Amino acid sequence: MSDLSYTAAVVLGIVEGLTEYLPVSSTGHLTVAEKLLGLQVDDPAVTAYTAIIQLGAIAATVLYFFRDIVRLLVAWVRGLASAEARRHHDYALAWAVIVGSVPVGVVGFLGKDLVSGPLRSLWVVAVALILWSGVMVVAERVHARRAATSGERGEGDVTVRDGLLIGLVQCFSLVPGVSRSGATISAGLLRGLDRVTATRLSFFMAIPALTAAGLYEAASTDLSALGKGQMAVGIVIAFVVALASIAWLLRFVAHHTLTWFVGYRIAAGVVIAALLLAGTVTAT
For the stretch 218-246, pLDDT in tens is 666 665 666 778 889 999 999 999 999 99
Q: The dihedral of CA 123, 137, 50, 162: what is its sign?
A: negative
CA distances from 188 to 49, 136, 240 (A): 30, 11, 27
Q: Which amino acid is at 49?
A: Y
Amino acid, single-letter form, for residue 206: A
User: What percent of the chain has pLDDT above 90?
Assistant: 63
pLDDT at 15 over 50: yes
Report DSSP state, residue 15.
H
> 46 or 2: which carries more pLDDT confidence?
46
Positive or negative torsion for Cα 124, 129, 134, 140: positive
Cβ contact 106:171 at 8 Å: no
> Mean pLDDT across the stretch 276-284?
85
Q: Euclidean distance between the first and final Cα of the chain, in Å?
A: 16
**Largest distance between two CA atoms of the chain:** 64
Mean model confidence pLDDT for the chain? 89
Using DSSP, state whether 38 is helix, strand or coil.
Answer: coil
With 90 as the cut, is the pLDDT of residue 111 above it?
Answer: no
pLDDT, tens only, 47-60: 778 888 888 999 99
Of the listed ranges 5-9, 14-18, 166-170, 241-245, the least confidently predicted one is 5-9
Query: With 80 as the cut, is the pLDDT of residue 155 above it?
Result: yes
pLDDT at 265: 96
- What is the rounded distance in angstroms from the CA atom of residue 48 to the CA atom of residue 110? 16
Contact partners, residue 178, CB within 8 Å, separation at least 6: 25, 28, 128, 132, 172
Band of pLDDT at residue 117, cut at 50, 70 and 90: confident
